[in-house]
Structure 1
Amino acid sequence: MKVNGAVVSSTAIRARIERGDFAGAAVMLGRDYTILGTVREGSKLGRQIGFPTANLSAHSEQFPPNGVYFVEAWFEGVLHHGVVNVGFRPTVSGEKAERTIEVHLLDFHRDIYGGDIEIKFVQFLRPEKKFENVEALGKQIAADVKKARELCAA
């Protein structure tokens, strides 16, 4: 089967996701590319710096490239906007860090451990990077959240 002249296959879909071509993956999938995950307990560092995150245990999904994204997230059937980090959390993790997905939902203040969240990647914001300290990381997260709010308003 072909879509827009490209052969549709799981390999082709994975390749698009791996390079961040979510629109191309969606055309081949026949739906938006999303990741479904169960919220698990994390280190609570995000909460300590003013940006609580839901750490996701993904349900066997293909991860997009590492980085920070503006996302749409569905929890209990309700749409929320947020900022997701995909990667190894280099500022706060050691050398044996595992790849994680953690989402900060805008204006959301509930304990949702054990619940499922579905994430749609809307826009890439920036690459993941290691900051000098947690304070510098917090300032960058604030800028990421500001950008996400601007995108919500657009």
Structure 2
Amino acid sequence: MYDFKPTAADPAELYRDLLAAADALTDGEPDGVANMANVAALLWEFLPDLNWAGFYRVGPAKTGGGDELVLGPFVGRPACIRIPFGKGVCGTAAASGATQLVADVHAFPGHIACDAASASELVVPVVRDGRVIAVIDLDSPSLARFTEADAAGIEALAAMLGPRL
């Protein structure tokens, strides 16, 4: 049985502990869905003041060809299933390959409101072999919940997960 409980108050230490726990759970496991599921659960355990934590995977678009984001493992309320590249915070992160740290989602052009309770969001692309394969999405009901320290911590997690998804 795994029992990963955060104990650190310092953000740098918290993210070191989160990364170590994610490494322990995903090391040697070839199933990307299982790895995403466990990491979504870890994010939920480790990070306070979230109302959604999980993944969107890059997959073939349902219509029109090309790729789009498809809902992956997560913890939280039901979510949008498909998000086109370039749309909303997640689609912008996937299209640009850049982290999106959004203090107020209602001020973000084209924000997709999957959960009306979300006020701020952090989305980090997961890259493998030079291309975005997924995004890690964190939502909070609090404005400006996420900091640069959160972005750096989730970017380190995404870098570790790239080859494991």
Q: Same fold (TM over 0.5)?
A: no
Structure number with greater Rg is: 1
Q: Pick the structure with more helix per residue.
A: 2
TM-score (normalizing by structure 1): 0.32
